[in-house]
Amino acid sequence: MSKPAIQVEGLWKEYVVGSAQQSHSTFYDLLSHSIKAPFNRLRNLGGASEVANQFWALRDVNFEVQPGEVLGIIGRNGAGKSTLLKILSRITSPTRGRVTVQGRMASLLEVGTGFHPELSGRENIYLNGSLLGMMRADIKSKFDSIVEFAEIEKFIDTPVKRYSSGMYVRLAFAVASHLEPEILVVDEVLAVGDIEFQKKCLGKMQDVSGSGRTVLFVSHNMNAVEILCTKALMLDKGSILHSGPTDVVVGRYLENVEANAGVIEKTSGVLRIISARGECNQSSPNMLDVFISITMDASREVDDLIIDFGLENKVGTRIMQIVPQARGVQPYAVRKNSKINYEIRVSMTMLAPGDYFGTVFAHSRTNGSVLHQSNIPLFRVASLDSAPECMSAGFTAVSIPNYEVRIFSEE
């Protein structure tokens, strides 16, 4: 059996929050500080400020990545993802534990990593290739492909300090992915690029993994993680909470987010959702007919009720937004203790298989926001044996379709 491409054993990383690095103007100051340091640490054991400000970014992290695997690393902001990648990339060192890496590693962690700002794009390509241990002839053979991918032909001889953040990221990713490292590490930095560039990057990473190289991918985009990654691990407060098949770990992550955040609900007490349901039927190979019915009750009278609606996928991407007033639908008068039925009929582009949720935003000019509720389960698009091309896992239909809205009351 081959050795793991990456092996992480008992990894801990500690930071001291709010502690400034002490400067020493003379050799005597430095010597005096060194002599006093052990006594200061003993004094702090009783709970002094430095110990009280300890922060463990990583806590006993253990995992392996086999050659050719694509590992997704997910978790909330502050979970320890970026710290882990910086240790793997040898940008910072762990407090305890060991990391073993087999092969050349290229890392794209943040805008500017690995580039010399005073050098041109051309010079930085050759510099990065040299750092990866490549011969100049090998870098030259891939040079045109890198520049074409990054779409910066006009600026290739301009110092990169003059690049926009988007140009910087395009070139950095092109270099990291084309110069054939055995291990490619990519953080959320791709979010800086536009949508088309992100698609290109995902396609390139699929090519990299398909050629047997290892990829570590950190992202908050669960769709991208599910498309790209064969395995995933979820970090929470510096520890691995879940690891295993990507779909299982992503599901646990979404459950965890919902359990901690709950249903987003901000209401003045005027309206309350009683029930919500959705139905979808395939009307043609590329179209869905969707029916959504939401029932609410009113605790007091509202003269000019306006109800907007949004449809989202399981990772919160807004698929469509319905604003009835934009189509000439007039505000609706609601009586106290009445039930309000809100019905939507939509014919829209086929959605990718998965669960879909709704957001209701009800408001009036006189009462302000009377109901704002998200994460309302509505319907599921099932996988089809003969699914059209647009139903691939990464497809998202962003549209403002033709729709009908009906609002009526029950006394």
State the sign of the Cα–Cα–Cα–Cα dihedral 167, 172, 173, 179: positive
Domain spans of the chain?
Answer: 6-15+56-259, 19-52, 265-410
Q: What pLDDT, on the 0 to 100 scale, is given for residue 241?
A: 93
CA angle (217 as vertex; 93, 87 as ends), nearest 5: 0
- Take residue 54 and report the two structure tokens written for it: 């300890």
Task: Give the pLDDT score at 389.
Answer: 40
Residue 387's pLDDT is 42
* Neighbour tally for 49: CB within 10 Å: 10
Cβ–Cβ < 8 Å for 94, 76: no
Q: Strand pairing of 354-364 and 302-313?
A: antiparallel
- Could you tell me the sign of the dihedral formed by the alpha carbons of 244, 246, 251, 257, in that order? positive
pLDDT at 392: 39
What pLDDT does 390 receive?
A: 39
Helices assigned H by DSSP within 280-333? none
- Report which secondary-structure segment, H or E, holds 170: helix 165-178
Cα separation, 296 vs 66, in Å, equals: 52
pLDDT at residue 112, rounded to an integer: 56
Regions of the chain short of the pLDDT cut 50: 20-21, 24-25, 47-51, 260-265, 385-400
As assigned by CATH, the class of the 265-410 domain is: mainly beta
Domain spanning 6-15+56-259: which CATH class is it, in words? alpha beta
Write the single-letter amino acid at 358.
Answer: G
Give the pLDDT score at 72: 93
Alpha-carbon distance of 190 to 70, in angstroms, equals: 17
| pLDDT tens track for 83-106 | 999 899 888 899 999 999 998 888
Where are the alpha helices (H) located in 105-164, listed in sequence order?
A: 121-131, 136-150
> Which pair of tokens denotes residue 187?
């953080």
Share of the chain above pLDDT 70, in %: 77
Q: Among candidates 302, 281, 298, 299, which has minimal Cα distance to 290?
A: 281
